[in-house]
Amino acid sequence: MAILEGMHILVVDDEKIIREGAERILKKEGWKTTIAESGERGLELIKGNEFQILMLDLMMPGISGMEVLKNVREIQPDLLVIVITGYATIENAVEAMRNGAYDFIPKPFTPDQLRIVVRRAMDKINLEREAELLRIERAKSLQDIANEKSKTLTIINHMADGVLVTDQNGYIVLNNPAVTRMLGLEEESPLGKHLSAWAGSEDLTRMLEKVLSMESSQDQGISLELAWGDPPKSFFVAHSAPVRSDKGEIFGSVTVFNDVTWLKELDRMKSEFVDMVSHELRSPLSAIRQKLSLIVDGLTGEINEEQGQIVSRVQHRIDGLIGMISNLLDLSRIESGRLVQQKERIALPEIIDETIDLMTQEAEKKELKFEVAIDAQLFPIHADRQSMETVITNLLSNAVKYNREGGRVSISARNRGEFIEVKVADNGVGISKEDLPRIFDKFYRIRSEYTRKVIGSGIGLPLVRAIVEAHFGTITVESETGKGTTFTVLLPRGIS
């Protein structure tokens, strides 16, 4: 056994030959041993030292072994006592055991018998020490767990985001104050209630059901935007994920709520501002454009060629500004859900043809070639006509604007499952990997030698995406610098 350090044996026997013999044998084993010739001396030594094992003769003159044993129980209750006894006093040995002695050895004994009995006592001490260490260790780890738990709870309770944990049946097992405050449900504690009964939100209940039935461990969770109140007063994004055991079984869910009301409010204020400014700008610009037309058309008198050219250029710039303002207005309208309301059954090829016609002048200046491939059996779509014109115009005009002399612009439309796929591709300047993820951000324009010369506002693509998404479609882009760009739009087919 490993833990033998610090063992100290005391042998108390009035028979010199026994106690000295025992001392010799024990010391030979390398065990620290002290001897005493009487009960009195033995007790004295026990009071002043720390022994682990006491070998105690029962039959001694003066204070008897049995007395010593009783005293030892009081002085050092954990001292392990082995009584040394003659054959005739075996009953005494039994009594001693009853009084707390651990073992006994009859006299006379052989060195081996002595070693065995002492070793057994040492083993017992070692086992007890180990058990004690384990107990301390366990108590410590329980304490650690308790500390950890209270630390985690403190953190969760002080989080600004709402946290809600359910078991695998959807009953709430943990929540923080933020979630009850956010949902305006501070009155009653959610603990033990089913989420659907407590929050009363179908969206939340459906999300939880989905999360709790996510079979694949690849499924990370669901995010959902929630409008809270009727009419909505607050807006949240709820991220919900399953909690799995090591084996991947779901034993609950955890949902974190971010309050995005202020972001919504900011967005609304921004849209209102853009709306207001655009309206204020559009009318005077349109008036200026009309007046300029009067000049160009000669209704205000003769103008020479140079004057005509200057006014035309001004008109062109004003057209750019009016286009940008229309885009801005459309974007703010679509963001507030006011645009795509007039859906009708429309045929995309018509819109594509008309848009290409409008672009030819611009394209000819750069000697661009148009390639058009439209599936003859193309499904109609159910969409807002003006919005679709905006989508095609913006994509085609970008393919023209960001192209080189003699370049190519191709547009194709085909049926793809339940969708119609429209691709607008060019072999122009392309977009770098770094810029690609940002081109759908509002007002984002790529800064390069080439794009510096192109007039634009950075709201064409965000508007296109907003329109496509409002029609339950998607838009993706692939591009490589210097090689060209392809935009792919998928729109759900209309009921034919």
Smallest distance from the beta carbon of 280 to ligand ADP, in angstroms? 21
Q: Dihedral sign, CA of 49, 50, 55, 61?
A: positive
Among 428, 465, 471, 490, binds ligand ADP (CB under 6 A): 428
Residue 429, interface with ligand ADP (CB under 6 A)?
A: yes
Residue 446, interface with ligand ADP (CB under 6 A)?
A: yes
The label of the residue with tokens 């104050």 reads: 177
Residue 456, interface with ligand ADP (CB under 6 A)?
A: yes
Among 69, 96, 368, 399, binds ligand ADP (CB under 6 A): 399
Stretch touching ligand ADP by CB under 6 A, among 50-58, 70-78, 315-323, 443-451 = 443-451
Site for ligand ADP in 267-296 (CB under 6 A): none
How many other C-beta atoms are found inside a 10 Å radius of the C-beta of residue 356?
16
Smallest distance from the beta carbon of 412 to ligand ADP, in angstroms? 15
Among 170, 190, 242, 460, binds ligand ADP (CB under 6 A): 460
Residue 439, interface with ligand ADP (CB under 6 A)?
A: yes
Determine which helix (DSSP H) or strand (DSSP E) holds 313, and give its type and residue range.
Answer: helix 305-335
Smallest distance from the beta carbon of 446 to ligand ADP, in angstroms? 3
Tokens of 20: 């000295």
Residue 323, interface with ligand ADP (CB under 6 A)?
A: no
Among 66, 329, 431, 475, binds ligand ADP (CB under 6 A): 431
The count of residues interacting with ligand ADP (CB under 6 A) is 21
Residue 7, interface with ligand ADP (CB under 6 A)?
A: no
Smallest distance from the beta carbon of 389 to ligand ADP, in angstroms? 15
**Cα(110)–Cα(87) distance, integer angstroms:** 15
Please give the backbone phi and psi of residue 155, each rounded to the nearest 5 degrees, phi first.
-60, -50
Quick one: 331 or 381, whose CB is closer to ligand ADP? 331
β-bridge partners, 243 = 252
Residue 420, interface with ligand ADP (CB under 6 A)?
A: no
Whole-number Cα distances in Å, 374 to 241, 263, 406, 473? 44, 42, 23, 19
Q: Sheet with 369-374: list strands edge to edge.
A: 369-374, 408-416, 419-426, 484-492, 474-480
Nearest to 206 by CA among 192, 220, 222, 228: 222
SS3 at position 238: strand
Quick one: 154 or 476, whose CB is closer to ligand ADP? 476
Residue 475, interface with ligand ADP (CB under 6 A)?
A: no
Among 445, 481, 492, 493, binds ligand ADP (CB under 6 A): 445
Residue 402, interface with ligand ADP (CB under 6 A)?
A: yes
**Cα(5)–Cα(467) distance, integer angstroms:** 82
β-bridge partners, 364 = none
How many other C-beta atoms are found inside a 10 Å radius of the C-beta of residue 234?
17
Whole-angstrom Cα Rg for the chain: 46
Residue 96, interface with ligand ADP (CB under 6 A)?
A: no
**Cα(88)–Cα(373) distance, integer angstroms:** 119
How many other C-beta atoms are found inside a 10 Å radius of the C-beta of residue 381?
24
Stretch touching ligand ADP by CB under 6 A, among 3-11, 206-214, 360-368, 450-458 = 450-458
The label of the residue with tokens 């848009």 reads: 355
Quick one: 36 or 388, whose CB is closer to ligand ADP? 388
Stretch touching ligand ADP by CB under 6 A, among 38-46, 362-370, 394-402, 411-419 = 394-402
Return residues touching ligand ADP (CB under 6 A).
Answer: 394, 398-399, 402, 426, 428-431, 439, 444-446, 451, 456-461, 485
